[in-house]
Amino acid sequence: MSDVLLIEEMPCESGDGTIAMVTINRPEKLNALNQEVMAAIKEMCRWSEENDDVRCIVITGAKPNPPPEGKRAKPNAFVAGADITEFVGKKSNDIRSLFKDNAWEAIWNLSKPTIAMVDGFALGGGCEIACSCDIRIASTRAVFGTPEIKLGLIPGGGGTQRLVNIVGLGKTMEMVMSGETISADEALAIGLVNHVVSPEELETRTMGIAQSIASKSMSTLKVAKKTIRSALENGIGDGVAIEAEAFANLFDTEDKEIGVQAFLARENPEWKHR
């Protein structure tokens, strides 16, 4: 994997398996997504999907490096957007091919649980990466926004569509059309993030949630994720029927019997499909 994307596999406390801590690593450019980063994200998604050890993926941005003497420190960033320098002189045909099968879709299409751990700027494509994840945990210094309108653009990594589903029509309209940023507390108030904690607590809190998720049956987690996602594509009637069918099908799995027996025996389940 390239230097612009670091992967640390952290052991699951509940037994075997790992949580992949994925760090987008261009701190001098506020972790902006250039083509190299986007290719590395797609590769990471392929790797984590195929690697049975990986039970949860946490995506974050590299912390700023100490500044050279006399220079100001760069701010903290999750990802400050797509790399704007790569937009210069580009036309629609260039962008269509560059953004085909893009990194945001690769994250969104992962069957395994994903968490965005956001400390600092999550703007444009960075906000979209966070929205492609299942869960977002922010520090108090996180800043969210879709400032593309200031460049004469709109979000292009699924941002308009996923934001609507997360925060609703009115808030999406305001964010996309004004391009103004919102604080972590505002993001919490509109449901864009699940939790806001101090920067010092961010990793502990995120890993606590990741560890809790990673301790469950992987095959059941995948069914849960797919079933919840179906709510985005179906009316409530069809969605409830899809859920009922998924629920019934789980009764044919070994892990359902393991989970139920472990509860009755007051033991921790030893999942077959970890």
Is residue 105 among the annotated active site residues? no
73 or 228, CB closer to ligand COA? 73
The most distant pair of C-alpha atoms in the chain lies apart, rounded to whole Å, by 66
d(CA 97, CA 164): 26
Q: Given the rule CB under 6 A, which of 79-87, 163-171, 192-200, 218-226 is the region that contacts ligand COA?
A: 79-87
- Determine whether 270 is an active site residue: no
In the three-class reduction of DSSP (H, G, I as helix; E, B as strand; rest coil), residue 10 is classed as strand
By CB under 6 A, residue 61 contacts ligand COA: no
Cα(56)–Cα(112) distance, integer angstroms: 6
In what helix (H) or strand (E) does residue 125 lie, and over which residues does it extend?
helix 125-132
Inter-residue contact 202 to 4 (CB < 8 Å): no
Closer residue to ligand COA (CB): 125 or 269: 125
Q: Which of residues 118-177 bind ligand COA (CB under 6 A)?
A: 121, 123-125, 147-148, 151
- The mark string for 97-126 relative to ligand COA (x by CB under 6 A, - otherwise) is ------------------------x-xxx-
Is beta strand 5-11 parallel, antiparallel or unpaired with respect to 135-139? unpaired
Query: Binding ligand COA by CB under 6 A: which of 23, 41, 83, 274?
Result: 83
Rg of the chain over CA atoms, in angstroms? 19
Q: Which is nearer to ligand COA, 121 or 271 (CB)?
A: 121
Active site residues: 128, 148
